[in-house]
Structure 1
């Protein structure tokens, strides 16, 4: 009993710092945010007034927020599908028997070490300076215009930069999953006459479901909270055409002094991401090998 009590005290002392940090930097700020979302605080005044659920009710009547929500969902859908497809294709390629495999792995992972702000500034310069010059020299009119300067094409400029930057991590996760696929199953399927496509969908893909689950959570969360690249590339423009939810929350809270309202928006986004992630994980968990 004494030994058990001593072990328990050791566990408590080792856990306590992490627990205190979690409470201080996550749990307490979350509770304070929930409190502020029920007020009309502007983020600067010493006093504020409680207005109940008025901020939450106003969210669904705010056309600017609804537009940002639509833009964010469209962006997320495209970026998730594109990143998953490219990452899986690269993972299959880089785990095959190819020459200079380690070199290409390093090359494809390189964008992940750069920040999205840096990537955004680089692509901003490419779209503004380099591509128009090339387009004019080759006589290609669409290429001679800055893609970020048109509200109909600015989204795709942001997507190009984010996809180039964000493929590396899902690719590495898929590569880790591919290394766990039993080779004897592939060999047995090959002997039975199964082609590459049949082996991929019947053997490889089911074993990749856990990695697909992780990647989906990360990519959906990253898509719904996109902020850095928009700040660096378009600042929400032209007009408000590329305002994401995260960027709009920043504007409402920091630039327009609607801190209570912005906090309500952020809590709504948190709840939305939590629900989407839960549903997605529950569905994909059922598709795992041995779960059916």
Structure 2
């Protein structure tokens, strides 16, 4: 047997186990979920085929519509904030400051912590520490927990989501900043360009590709927000802070709506893919313009 043939066979042998695992634990469940979306299955026992009834009902269900609206709100606000914060920190860490390697490690810590554990810590902070401190200082607006009202609970969720997600974005931006030639900054300094002018004309255009990656991944991740809400509000007060992912979990595994929420999952998958494709194309077009 020729060496090239043996090498090709070795590749197939290495890829086959991963392909089988992916097919068994991902592809098959996805196909099963699509099938159940056309049934009235409660998650156990027999199920009847109902056609498109589940999909039609989704568009008139106020709880589902509110969950989508709330998820879009969280995703939009958190995506913008996390990229502003992480880019600002990355630019600062890329400058000539002391202990920047240590600071990079510190800023990455939130990304390796279990979000549920951190979420319960933030729950305690928002429910006890912040109100107690605000009462002593005399800030009446923060003297009660942010988590008790729907009008403020979403702010707490965004704060936790941005804090936890910024770590990964910072690393991506730092990697992008290291690709910018220092000669360009030196030339701009000779021309008397300000720091903002350097950022707008040199830094941002050079890392536009990294900005696109972070924006797409951030939006996709925040659209699937789940653990943060479970730890902070559990979807309350009532169902005011229920995300789509949390609604699918509650209805599908606790509410006997397995078939109905399977249809919701299919719609949600299409929504996420659609947003990702549109966002990617728009931002890539902007990269060319920049």
Place the TM-score, normalised by the shorter chain, in its bin: over 0.9
Q: Displacement of 1:87 after TM fit? A: 0.1
Q: Displacement of 1:2 after TM fit? A: 3.3
Find the residue that maps to 2:139 and give its secondary structure: coil
- CA root-mean-square deviation: 1.6
- Structure 2 unmatched runs, 5+: none
Partner of 1:114: 113
Find the residue that maps to 2:50 and give its secondary structure: coil
Find the residue that maps to 2:150 and give its secondary structure: coil
State the Cα deviation string for residues 163-207 of structure 1 (Å, max 9, x = none): 121111101100000000122222233333433222212221122
**CA distance in 2: counterparts of 1:238 and 1:41, whole angstroms:** 29
Partner of 1:8: 8
Alignment of 1:62-73 (within 5 A): 62-73=61-72
Partner of 1:260: 259
**CA distance in 2: counterparts of 1:195 and 1:204, whole angstroms:** 12
**CA distance in 1: counterparts of 2:241 and 2:34, whole angstroms:** 27
- 8 Å CA contact 1:207–1:288 kept in 2: the answer is no
**CA distance in 1: counterparts of 2:262 and 2:253, whole angstroms:** 11
Find the residue that maps to 1:129 and give its secondary structure: helix
**CA distance in 1: counterparts of 2:133 and 2:11, whole angstroms:** 63
**CA distance in 2: counterparts of 1:187 and 1:170, whole angstroms:** 27
Q: Does 1:198 align with 2:187?
A: no
Partner of 1:37: 37
Alignment of 1:201-240 (within 5 A): 201-240=200-239
Shifted more, 279-288 versus 70-79: the winner is 279-288
Q: Displacement of 1:106 after TM fit? A: 2.3
Q: Displacement of 1:59 after TM fit? A: 0.9
Partner of 2:276: 277
State the Cα deviation string for residues 200-246 of structure 1 (Å, max 9, x = none): 12221122122112211221111111110111111111111101111
Q: Displacement of 1:114 after TM fit? A: 1.2
Q: Displacement of 1:26 after TM fit? A: 1.3
**CA distance in 2: counterparts of 1:133 and 1:189, whole angstroms:** 50
Show structure 1 runs of 4+ deviating over 4 A.
none
| Equivalent pairs, count | 290
**CA distance in 2: counterparts of 1:4 and 1:101, whole angstroms:** 47
- 8 Å CA contact 1:116–1:162 kept in 2: the answer is no
